[in-house]
């Protein structure tokens, strides 16, 4: 898990395979980071395969938005 999205996207994009990456995009207080991470954990609960994928948490108009995508692109 990181909030250093730019660097980690570059690093993980170079890898042929990785275990998965969680990014909390906004620079927010630790309490809100924990809330966003809890939402991500709920979203990924029961997911059997997160290899080469990214889950990003952003905030848009006071709502958490979770986005999941492949990295590197297949």
Buried b (16+ CB within 10 A) or exposed e, 47-69: eeeeebbbbbbeeeeeebeeeee
Structure tokens belonging to residue 16 = 């042929």
- For 71, the 3-state DSSP assignment is coil
- Chain-centre distance for alpha carbon 24: 6
| Kind plus residue range of the DSSP H or E element containing 65 | strand 63-70
What pLDDT is attached to residue 28?
Answer: 85
pLDDT in tens, the chain (74 residues): 887 888 888 888 888 899 999 999 878 888 998 999 999 999 999 999 999 999 999 999 989 999 999 988 76
Q: pTM, whole model, 2 decimals?
A: 0.83
């Amino acid at each position: 898990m990181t909030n250093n999205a730019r660097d980690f996207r570059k690093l993980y994009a170079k890898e042929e395979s990785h275990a998965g990456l969680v990014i909390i995009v906004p620079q927010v207080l630790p309490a809100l980071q924990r809330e966003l991470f809890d939402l991500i954990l709920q979203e990924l609960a029961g997911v059997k395969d997160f290899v080469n994928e990214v889950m990003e948490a952003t905030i848009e108009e006071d709502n958490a938005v979770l986005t999941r995508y492949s990295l590197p692109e297949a």
